[in-house]
Amino acid sequence: MTFSTLGLNQPICQQLDSLGFKQPTDIQSAAIPVVLAGTDVMAKAHTGSGKTAAFCLPIIQQLSTQEIALSAQQVLAVMLAPTRELAQQIATSLHSYCPNEQLIHELAYGGVAIDKQIKNLTKGAHILVATPGRLLDLLINHHINIADLRYLVLDEADRLLDMGFADDIKRIISFTNNKPQTLLFSATFDDRFFTFGKPLVRHQQVIDVTTQTSRPADIEQRIYELDEAKKLAATCHLIKQHQWAQVLVFVRSKKTADALSQDLTEQAIACSAIHGDIAQAKREQALAGFISRQTQVLVATDVAARGLHIPQLPVVINYQLPHQPADYIHRIGRTGRAGDKGLAISLLAVDEKHLLAAIEERLPEPPLRQWLPGFEPNLDADFSANNKKKKKGRSKRR
């Protein structure tokens, strides 16, 4: 199958060929013809599976061929992303996919001054990539007009819900006069996703290209059981032993991200951290240093890391397991992208085993748990912790 057989026109196919895209991925093959047909979509696809192109390409074609004259501040397509980093990634991809400069696309997100974004949108835009909060600011203050919006895309819709953007999205939609073609893309489906998404779509087609597995097939998963106190030393050992040029390390909190980054730096490992409290300019600087391999390790929280794209990232380390199983899928999806091999390592302390159990329910088969030589867990401590939980449970029942 080729991109042309999906219904994409020659200029776009030539542009994709120049980018080295020879064949569509599964999500692109399934979604592009449906979007071109004007149908609403609820799509489930792994992180790194090419879903950005799956919604960008058909919208670019439709808007390019319609030769629409924009009025001042008018926006015809909105692509919403939960984080600044993902919005930037979508905008970058969008720019590379466009076969000409006639299609105007802009980017708007918080954490930076709004004045330049307002100026860029004065003459309108065919496509606006935005985060929900900044888009609402622009709408409420009448800097843009989406009354005649034709396309609405919610990328990583599950994360938009996790971050509490449901009400913001409903309010954004209230600024439209007619229902736009709506595309919801997510790495996970659950009851909450369908409860939120169903009112937004009409005669939608549900697409799931993850039915054979709940993780990208080219990612090896390893679970190392060890004591919490040994995690730092084990992380340093793994990084130095394997001499990985790039390692993305996930933690649960901003405080842990800062502390771990400092600890790794003190161990002569070039490291930086990104999280929601770090200014946007510094986040971009940290990411640029990591991508250029000036920095060996990037420590990130889930919110900050959503949407990061690091080409050929060899390994991800879960220093702490996430509270939400869906975040585990997103985390490991940072490696093993676009057919590359990837490695995802999780450091499992005894008090995190309940988190792993929830994650394993999402996977076709549980990853093998093992010990890291030299960092074996203290079984007496494990036994003691389990006994404390049992005694606590008995006291509650009394």
Whether the per-residue pLDDT at 190 is higher than 50: the answer is yes
For 116-126, what is each residue's pLDDT tens digit?
999 999 999 99
149: left (phi over 0), alpha (psi -120 to 50) or beta: beta
CA distances from 218 to 34, 332, 334, 344 (A): 28, 11, 12, 10
Output the pLDDT for position 162: 78
Q: Same CATH fold, 219-384 and 4-208?
A: yes
Q: Measured between alpha carbons, how far is 350 from 286 in angstroms, rounded to an integer? A: 32
Whether the per-residue pLDDT at 353 is higher than 80: the answer is yes
Output the pLDDT for position 213: 41
Q: In what order do the strands lie in the sheet with 205-208?
A: 105-108, 125-130, 75-80, 151-155, 181-186, 41-44, 205-208
Q: Measured between alpha carbons, how far is 21 from 104 in angstroms, rounded to an integer? A: 23
Question: 166-173 vs 132-140: helix axis angle to the nearest 10?
Answer: 40
Domain 219-384, second-level architecture? 3-Layer(aba) Sandwich (3.40)
Output the pLDDT for position 161: 84
For 16-41, what is each residue's pLDDT tens digit?
999 988 889 999 999 999 999 999 99
CA distances from 173 to 150, 201, 208, 209 (A): 12, 12, 25, 28
Rg (CA), the chain: 22
Whether the per-residue pLDDT at 196 is higher than 90: the answer is no
Output the pLDDT for position 305: 61
**Structural domain boundaries of the chain?**
4-208, 219-384
Q: Measured between alpha carbons, how far is 325 from 82 in angstroms, rounded to an integer? A: 18
* Options 3.90.190.20, 3.40.50.300, 3.90.1300.10, 3.40.1280.10; CATH of 4-208: 3.40.50.300
The enclosing H or E element of 247 equals strand 247-250
Q: Measured between alpha carbons, how far is 247 from 310 in angstroms, rounded to an integer? A: 10
Question: 51-66 vs 10-18: helix axis angle to the nearest 10?
Answer: 140
Asked if residues 334 and 47 have their Cβ atoms less than 8 Å apart, the reply is: yes
pLDDT greater at residue 391 or residue 157: 157
**pTM of the prediction?**
0.67
* Measured distance between the N- and C-terminal CA atoms of the chain, rounded to whole angstroms: 65
Output the pLDDT for position 59: 96
For 372-389, what is each residue's pLDDT tens digit?
999 999 876 554 555 555
Mean pLDDT of the chain: 88
Name the nearest CA neighbour of 78 among 156, 153, 173.
153
